[in-house]
Structure 1
Amino acid sequence: MSAVSTHEESGHGTAHLSRNLGLWAIVALGLGYMTPTVIFDTFGIVSDETNGVVPSAYVLALVAMTFTAISYGRMTRIFPSAGSAYTYTSNTMSPKLGFLIGWSSLLDYLLLPLVNALIIRSYMEAFFPDVPPWIWVSVYVVAITAMCLFSMSNTSRVNGLLVVFEVVLIAVFIVLAWRALAKGDGNGTIFSTQPAWHADVSLGHVITGATLVCFSFIGFDAITMYTEEAKDPSTVPKAIVLALLIGGAIFFVAAWFTQSLFPTIEDFSADSLENSALPEIAFLVGGTLFKILLTSAAFAATAASSLASHASVSRLLYVMGRNGTGLIGKTFGAVHPTFRTPANAVLFVGIVSLGAIPFNLDFVAALINFGALMAFSFVNLTVVAHFAVKRKEIGTPMAIFRNVVLPLIGVAFTIVLWWNLSRESFNYGVIWFLIGVLVLLWITRLFRRSMNINMGDGH
């Protein structure tokens, strides 16, 4: 298929998303979404919850996410279309149920760019307290929106540069931590088993920590949103696994050295335990200069996450709009004929992101995670629905293991996360889901009207 093609079957125009993303560009978008520097931001909180075994929490979280990543990889091979859980559920179960899953996911994906804008606002307010916050939010959101609007290839390049910058700074931290450990600081050695397990730790501590850090891995699933812009759609499943494993390795290694250097949290300030520990960790490891550099890396990580999350949610809006009817469907389902991006969806996400002006981080954070868990659960279930129920590929023990056991293990891990979801996230998520039910009743005229499934690219 050519890099630029036309769409003859879409009801919303002829322009198509441009296929210009290679394997590593997609992997970088996933890593950008995951924000590797978050390990330092949340270290104080997670170390407190785990009694000092943060690396073990990341390992358990990685294992839990791997089962879901396998399901994402399998389903994107069957349905090489943007839309992720929405697309898979619509095609394997029901378009109406798919709409509800897509609607639930929208709450998370739509708010993540807003969260990043809030974080940038907090950074800039700390440096320039006399400047009105709305100026920083406006400038930042306009810049991110413009980049996502004009070119997906340029967006991926900038995202890639930001990801490389933050990973380099994490590598510098590891070198500085290694030198400090060699001098006898912290545990005095990187080869101690203390960061993984010790006498004061129970499995419950590790599970609690894993539920906290699991959400750091959210981003590998967003890779599926770029399926219609991949040069070769068959590389997307590989990109999902690579992003998850590379991100998991970065989290684990950084957590190991941080935990080795700071076996307890006694020396951390109250602010580091309640908010971000990154500035204090950076200062203790490398002084003022490194504090500035690692904070800059955190800024870059947030910008990379903004680009990746803004681009991915606009693709979800585009696919849902492409399958819809009326003015809303035509608006979101349109692709700009020159930029080859879902321009209206990109602009809408930018408008929502301006909510970072009046809202605060605590309130917005309470609204997210419900939709991601909904998506994770149903992607695993779609594997069962497609392979075990529809195709009836359960004739051998290996087929049963692949098509039933593995995805249900993924569901089981997701249930653990559901159980530990904050009350605010659950309540707000249910309210959003019920609003989606009302919208579904309206657009289907009380289920009397069918819903379309347009796979794009002629699928």
Structure 2
Amino acid sequence: MEQESVSLKKLSLWQVTVIGIAYMTPMTVFDTFGIVSGITNGHVPLAYLLALTTMLLTAFSYARFSKHSEKSGSAYSYTTESIGPKSGLFVGWCTLLDYLLLPLINVLLAAIYLTALIPSVPYWFWVIVSAGLVTLVNCFRIRLLANISLIFVFAPIILMIIFVYLVIQGIGSTQGYEYVLTLNPLWHGQQELLPLVAGASVLCFSFLGFDAVTTLSNETQNPTKTIPYAVLLTTLFGGMIFFTASWFIQLYYPSNIRFHHPSEALPEIVLYVGGALFQSIFLCGQIMNTVASGLASHASASRLLYIMGKDNIFPKKYFGTLHATLGTPFFSVLFVGLISLSAIFLNLAQVISLISFGALVAFTAVNLSVFVKFYVREKQRSGFKNKFFNLFLPLISVISILCLWINLDSSALKFGSCWLAIGILVFIYKLMKKQNITLTNTC
């Protein structure tokens, strides 16, 4: 097993960063714009800026911990190492919620876009094709995923650059180019804080890429050096893409008045800006972007299952082993693929709000893990630098995340609580099973 792990350490800093950005799905800004614009009264860029600031604080905690640990598993491994296996189990279980739902959402979105382009083909067929393709690629070594992600990330970014150009040309030719040079997309009129925080709580799931890259430690060159930089670069680059794109969308659409369906505004956004041909091309780019995110999220979910399988949280025989030839967690990859097929029976509204619950659990847990490991257990308290990184920064991060918790959608809280309750039952079952084994051995 150890030899297999060493042989898989092939990813460079930029490959890991690209996978993280692919996981973030840069073009998701077009999918969520109409929703967040309504929540924030036309201040989407400001909501992204608030979300980016909050996520950067947490990203520093991820980078801090990953610099001192080669373990994969992200929040699950960090919590287990610093606070204990029981806490790690509950954090891992809650985090698993968004890890399993993100591949499902990407399959669902890909099927929606493909059905829009080719309506004669049934929706369920595209779900099977999308889930099957993503699962197949993830069965092979991680370098194949990194190379495909590189193509599927940069092609949509080029389309986003063309979109920005068309917005500037459209506004400049009709209203004058002086209207492009304005701060209105960021701030116009009075804006209350609570709607901005509510908008940022919806957008925080878009930043899950920096959490996902920490699950690739076992397959990365020099993980204690590469992963911390990848975490910060993924957050910064992803945040810059989100902020820039939302700025120009907000510039062209100051409000939601022009949208017939604000919750599904992407087709209308690109149609009004570039026409029917550009809309079709953009949808193709969106499909590529969704596939890239699906590949990355599928890889991260299967590796989290693999780490938890190695720790016997799930059956080690299936989840905690690598394929002898492929060198990948084959069974975990197939399991995530089967979960993704449930997109046939679900819709986007039922799933998307649930992801933030697991994300916020992970973010909160990692900040607390930094505090417990470095400030409490290792007693790194002397001097301003230690106090800042080990006490003040995690504390500020937790407070900022608590603001997002307060504004989380009620349905996400209810479903997340049910998921946590199932995790508690699993924990009780494993505890009773362990006690029975101990009693049997004693007798």
Paired position in structure 2 for 1:455: none
Counterpart residue type for residue 282 of structure 2: L
CA drift at 1:338? 1.5
DSSP 3-state at the match of 1:211: helix
Separation of aligned partners in 1, 2:168 and 2:122: 41
Deviations 1:181-205 (A, max 9, x none): 3224499522212111122323333
Task: State whether structure 2 residue 254 is matched by structure 1 residue 263.
Answer: yes
Residue 159 of structure 1 deviates from its aligned partner by 1.1
Of 321, 325, 329, the match for 1:342: 329
* 8 Å contact from structure 1 (residues 33, 304) kept in 2: yes
Larger helix fraction of residues: 2
User: CA offset at residue 448 of structure 1?
Assistant: 4.9
Partners of 2:176 and 2:417 in 1: CA distance:
45
Task: Quote the sequence identity (%).
Answer: 41
Question: Which of 300, 307, 310 lines up with 2:288 in the alignment?
Answer: 300
Equivalent pair of 1:185/1:261 in contact (CA under 8 Å) = no
**Partner residue in 2 for 1:3:** none
Aligned residue for 2:118?
A: 128
Evaluate the alpha carbon distance shift between residue 244 and residue 424 of structure 1 in structure 2; reply closer, same or farther with a 3 A threshold: same
Residue of structure 2 equivalent to 1:139: 129
Report whether the alignment pairs 1:369 with 2:356.
yes
1:232 corresponds to which residue?
222
Within 5 A, what are the aligned runs for 1:303-342? 303-324=291-312, 328-342=315-329
More displaced stretch, 195-204 vs 75-84: 195-204
Deviation of residue 249 (structure 1)? 0.7
Q: What is aligned with 1:223?
A: 213
Structure 1 residue 290 corresponds to structure 2 residue 278: yes
Partners of 2:175 and 2:146 in 1: how far apart? 40
State the SS of the aligned residue for 1:174: helix
Instruction: Assess if the C-alpha contact under 8 Å between 2:36 and 2:199 holds in 1.
Output: yes
Query: Counterparts of 1:13-412 in structure 2 under 5 Å?
Result: 18-185=8-175, 188-233=178-223, 234-269=225-260, 271=261, 273=262, 275-324=263-312, 328-412=315-399
Q: Distance in 1 between matches of 2:338 and 2:7?
A: 22
In the alignment, the residues of structure 1 paired with residue 288 and residue 399 of structure 2 have an alpha-carbon distance, to the nearest angstrom, of 35
1:7 maps onto 2:5 in alignment: no
Q: Is the 8 A contact 2:117 2:280 kept in 1?
A: no
Instruction: Classify 1:80/1:443 alpha carbon distance in 2 versus 1 (closer, same or farther; 3 Å).
Output: same
Q: 1:366 to 1:253 in 2, by over 3 A?
A: closer
Which shows bigger deviation, 27-36 or 45-54?
45-54
Q: Supply the distance in 2 between the matched residues of 1:22 and 1:52 (Cα, whole angstroms).
A: 39
Displacement of 1:265 in angstroms is 2.5
Contact persistence 2:205–2:355 (CA under 8 A): no
C-alpha distance in 1 between matches for 2:247 and 2:177 = 11
Report the alpha carbon displacement of residue 31 of structure 1 after superposing the two structures with TM. Answer: 0.8
Residue 130 of structure 1, CA deviation: 3.9
Q: Under a length normalisation based on structure 2, what TM-score does the superposition of the two structures give? A: 0.94
Are the counterparts in 1 of residues 197 and 407 from structure 2 also a CA contact under 8 Å? no
Distance 2:54 2:125 in 1: 41
2:441 — aligned with what?
none
Determine if contact 1:387/1:403 at 8 Å carries over to the other structure: yes
What does the per-residue CA deviation read over 1:214-244, in whole Å, with 9 as the maximum and x for residues that have no partner? 2221221101011111122111110111111
- What's the CA shift string for 1:82-112, capped at 9, x where partnerless? 1001101101111111011101111110111
Letter in 2 for 1:7: E
Alpha carbons 2:168, 2:177 under 8 Å: kept: no
Q: How far apart, in 1, do the equivalents of 2:202 and 2:352 lie?
A: 13
Once residues 275 and 353 of structure 2 are traced to their aligned partners in structure 1, the CA distance between those partners, rounded to angstroms, is: 34
Q: 2: CA distance between counterparts of 1:187 and 1:47? A: 24
Pick closer, same or farther for the CA change 1:180–1:131 going to 2, 3 Å: closer
SS of equivalent residue, structure 1 residue 265: coil
What is the Cα deviation at residue 367 of structure 1?
A: 3.4
Counterpart contact for 1:17–1:335, Cα < 8 Å: no
Contact 2:5–2:219, Cα closer than 8 Å, also in 1: no
- For residues 307-355 of structure 1, give each alpha carbon's deviation from its aligned partner in whole angstroms, at most 9, with x where no partner exists: 0000001010000111117x81121110112211111110111111111
Tell me the distance in 1 between the aligned counterparts of 2:373 and 2:2: 27
CA distance in 2, matches of 1:383, 1:20: 28
The one-letter amino acid of 1:230's match is T
Hey, what's the Cα distance between the residues in 1 that align with 2:148 and 2:283?
Answer: 19
AA aligned to 1:221 is D
Shift of 1:170: 0.6
How far apart in 2 are the matches of 1:54 and 1:185?
22
Deviation at 1:429, TM superposition (A): 0.9
Counterparts of 1:408 and 1:255, CA distance in 2: 30
Hey, what's the Cα distance between the residues in 2 that align with 1:182 and 1:305? 34
State the distance in 1 between where 2:436 and 2:410 align.
35
Q: Which piece of structure 1 moves more, 407-416 or 84-93? A: 407-416
AA matched with 2:355: I
TM-score, with length taken from structure 1: 0.91
CA contact (8 A) 1:186 1:263 kept: no
| Alpha-carbon separation, structure 1, partners of 2:252 and 2:354 | 34
Name structure 1 gaps, 5 residues minimum.
1-5, 9-13, 451-459
Q: Residues of 2 paired with 1:251 and 1:244: CA distance?
A: 10
CA deviation map 1:124-151 (0-9, x unaligned): 2323334332221112111110100022
Aligned partners of 1:105 and 1:374 also within 8 Å: yes
- d(CA) in 2 for partners of 1:352, 1:216: 21
| Whole-angstrom distance in 1 between the partners of 2:352 and 2:416 | 12
